């Protein structure tokens, strides 16, 4: 017998004897496999923290582990519900924001013209003209010198004017 086997505690023995069943307990009750695996990990941590309360008799230890698993499952379900409510609130807010975004042809052309700029220049334009920052504030957010931001903004406006004047010409 190895030293490791000599040191097995009743807790380790109970976990080893029931780990597959306990994991399946969570898998059958939680739709998402990642949530089930996380719940199983939480069970192991929680049970280990209070392992001195675990009965030494194997059947009683198994029942104790399932009681801990049931408590963990309740916590996980409450957490999932809170997360789901938060996600739903965010989706509702996003829908409100998206509903206020103009989708007319001119707005779409402007968005496409901004997208055609270099990514940093496009973000600078968005920060200044969509988000209302002053050029020096946008420069600070982007980590660039304010004078660099002003010159990039001027250049980006020229590029946008050129792009928009080409797209607004009537087709021949």
Q: How far apart are CA 48 and CA 66, in angstroms?
A: 14
What is the CATH number for 27? 1.10.1740
Say whether both 74 and 60 belong to one domain: yes
Structure-token match 């801990």, residue found: 68
pTM of the prediction? Answer: 0.49
Q: Are 36 and 77 in contact (CB under 8 A)?
A: no
Tokens of 38: 């996380």
Say whether both 125 and 48 belong to one domain: no
Label residue 43 exposed, middle or buried (CB < 10 Å: 0-12, 13-18, 19+): buried
Q: Which of 99, 124, 150 is the last residue of a domain?
A: 99
Residue 118, phi-psi category: left (phi > 0), alpha (psi -120 to 50), beta (remainder) = beta
Structure-token match 């206020």, residue found: 100
Say whether both 52 and 130 belong to one domain: no
Q: What is the pLDDT of residues 9-32, one digit of tens each?
A: 899 999 999 999 999 999 999 988
Does residue 143 lie within any of the structural domains? yes
Q: Which of 56, 82, 99 is the last residue of a domain?
A: 99
Q: Which of 99, 126, 143 is the last residue of a domain?
A: 99
Say whether both 132 and 95 belong to one domain: no
Q: What is the pLDDT of residues 101-159, one digit of tens each?
A: 566 777 788 888 888 999 889 989 989 988 889 999 999 999 999 999 999 999 999 99
Collapsing DSSP to helix, strand or coil, 102 comes out as coil
Q: Are 25 and 63 in contact (CB under 8 A)?
A: no
Sequence-distant (6+) residues with CB within 8 A of 110 are: 160, 164
Q: What is the pLDDT of residues 70-98, one digit of tens each?
A: 999 999 998 888 888 887 788 778 776 65
């Amino acid at each position: 017998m190895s030293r490791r086997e000599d040191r097995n505690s009743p807790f380790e023995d109970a976990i080893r004897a029931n780990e597959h069943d306990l994991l399946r307990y969570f898998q059958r009750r939680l739709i998402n496999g990642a949530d089930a695996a996380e719940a199983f990990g939480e069970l192991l941590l929680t049970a280990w923290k209070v392992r001195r309360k675990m009965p030494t008799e194997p059947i009683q230890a198994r029942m104790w582990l399932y009681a801990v698993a049931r408590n963990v499952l309740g916590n996980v379900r409450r957490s999932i519900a809170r997360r789901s409510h938060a996600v739903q609130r965010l989706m509702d807010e996003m829908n409100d924001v998206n509903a206020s975004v103009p989708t007319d042809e001119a707005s779409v052309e402007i968005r496409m013209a901004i997208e055609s700029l270099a990514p940093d220049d496009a973000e600078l334009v968005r920060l200044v003209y969509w988000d209302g920052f002053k050029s020096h504030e946008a420069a600070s957010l982007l980590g660039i010198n304010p004078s660099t931001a002003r010159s990039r903004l001027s250049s980006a406006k020229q590029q946008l004017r050129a792009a928009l004047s080409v797209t607004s010409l009537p087709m021949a």
